[in-house]
Amino acid sequence: MTVTPVRELTRREQDEIDRANRSRRPPVVFLHGMWLLAESWRPWADCFEDAGYAALTPGWPDDPETVEQARTDPDAFARKGIADVAAYHERVVAGLDRTPALVGHALGGLLAQLLAGRGGATASVVIDPVPTRGVLPMPFAALRSALPVLRRPGNRGRAVMLSFRQFRYRFANAISKEEARELYDRYHVAASGAPMFESVLANFSPRTEARADSAAPQRGPMLIVSGHRDHQVPPATTAATYERQRRNPGITEFAELADRGHSLTIDAGWESVARLSLDFVRRFVR
């Protein structure tokens, strides 16, 4: 495994850890994916806080705090690989007095599986997860979604922005064009190209960092959620993740949501997905 220097947490992230420890509430850590920032989880964090949990929304190493800051310096996202982000999130988990529940979306769903397999979760909700090694289906929609990054090998070391048309196809195909534009303007930022290469090529690289220990007995209960109309992580890919994770001796459950695309955590229907996730976490973390 690659040895990755771990960057210092931001003041906001450390404050969230300290507040969670003082509160003595069970912590829940929300992990975002590519082309979003931690602030995209704010409605979810408020929902879980209202239910009695301490919500934490860490970013990736060197993430700007706001979309406005991110758009003035998109190169800040470049050259962050899966190992970098996983090590950073492990630092967040290690700072908590109690092992947290994890909720991850897209690449955050991959990261939640990695951390859970290492004993870093009491329960996990994995939403439209980017595939790990051993997950084989790669439908045409997923390949088309990956092309903005993969078509240029140099993007592995760069930050990549999506055009609105690309965002509409990969994130927001299941909602109106007007709502898609609103989400693009409100949330979209550049993303490191490296994790996309690592995930897509995981099955050709025995030493890949995109590897989750699905058999680890300490993994804890896991719910895997699929949006039926997701282009970036189509249902066949998410179902294959479930088949791999269900080998675990712990509880593994699957939910497919009709008429939902990859934007299901940030669009107007986010609350129903958050409630599904909260109900699962409540069963195991009180």
Q: What is the pLDDT of residue 121?
A: 98
Q: Hey, what's the torsion of the CAs at 281, 51, 86, 186, to 10 degrees? A: 120
The candidate with the shortest Cα–Cα distance to 160, out of 89, 75, 259, 218, is 75
Q: What is the pLDDT of residue 136?
A: 87
Whole-number mean pLDDT of the chain? 95
Tokens for 156, please give them.
Answer: 């592995």
Q: What is the pLDDT of residue 2?
A: 44
Find out whether 210 and 82 touch, Cβ atoms under 8 Å. Answer: yes
Would strands 124-127 and 101-105 be described as parallel, antiparallel, or unpaired? parallel
Q: What is the pLDDT of residue 25?
A: 98
> Residue 181: CB partners within 8 Å, gap ≥ 6?
164
Q: What is the pLDDT of residue 5?
A: 57
Name the amino acid, one letter, at 89. H
HEC string for 45-112 = HHHHHHCCCEEECCCCCCCCCCHHHHHHCHHHHCCCCHHHHHHHHHHHHHCCCCCCEEEEECHHHHHH
How does pLDDT run across 123-144, given as a tens digit for each residue?
999 999 999 999 988 899 998 9
Find out whether 128 and 264 touch, Cβ atoms under 8 Å. Answer: yes
Burial annotation 93-120 (CB, 10 A radius, 16+ → b, else e)? bebbeebbbbbbbbbbbbbbbbbbbbeb
Cα 77 from Cα 193, distance rounded (Å): 9
Report residue 30: phi and psi, to 5°. Answer: -100, 130
Find out whether 30 and 10 touch, Cβ atoms under 8 Å. Answer: no
How does pLDDT run across 61-92, given as a tens digit for each residue?
999 999 999 999 999 999 999 999 999 999 99
Tokens for 111, please give them.
Answer: 């990261």
Q: What is the pLDDT of residue 201?
A: 87
Q: What are the extents of the domains in the chain?
A: 11-284
CA distances from 59 to 73, 117, 126, 208, 282 (A): 16, 21, 17, 22, 24
How does pLDDT run across 207-245, given as a tens digit for each residue?
899 999 999 999 999 999 999 999 999 999 999 999 999
11-284: CATH topology: Rossmann fold (3.40.50)
Q: What is the pLDDT of residue 85?
A: 97
29: pLDDT strictly greater than 60: yes
Which run of H or E residues covers position 14? helix 11-23
Cα 29 from Cα 249, distance rounded (Å): 23
